[in-house]
Amino acid sequence: MSGRATAILAAVLAILALGYAGLLRWERQSRQEEFRAKRLFDFDTADVEGLRLTREGEPAVAARRTDEAWSIVEPHPIPANPDPWRRMAEAVAGLTNERTVADEDAPMGDFGLDAPGLVVRVEARGREHAVAFGKATPMQDRRYARLDDGPVIL
């Protein structure tokens, strides 16, 4: 094989390698954009100022964050272990909508949302949102939920 043919084949190989690397980068960016589009909230963990958990048949437990220190404010004001509240804030900030199941006019009893087992209220950036969690899906891998008074989501 001549030197010219070798150079052409090397150039074709370089072009194919660059094209493949570009395709992988585009695919990774598409997956990241798709994940960001599924997020329920536009805030991060550091923006969470307060959490309030209400379980069916139990009194509410609420905590507030000042800097990095969490303290329980309800039912009795006491200092709190910050680790579980930080993890809860991370979990809430990272909630995603995998799929919208039914609109807001659907019967909520079908999804266990007429009397939800858990309601999480989150304060972030001066706004408050409530996420109600209902029954588990038939596959037991997700839960039906409802953000504020919106549609039923997974």
Q: In this predicted model, what pLDDT tens digit does every residue of 11-29 receive, in sequence order? A: 888 888 888 888 888 888 8
Largest separation between any pair of C-alpha atoms in the chain: 85
Q: To which H or E segment does residue 32 belong?
A: helix 3-38
Mean pLDDT of the region 105-134:
86
Q: In this predicted model, what pLDDT tens digit does every residue of 68-81 receive, in sequence order? A: 778 787 887 787 77
Mean pLDDT of the region 94-111:
82
Give the pTM: 0.69
DSSP secondary structure letters along 75-128: SS-EE--HHHHHHHHHHHHT-B---EEE-TTS-GGGGT-SS-SEEEEEEETTEE
* 39 vs 17, residue with greater confidence: 17
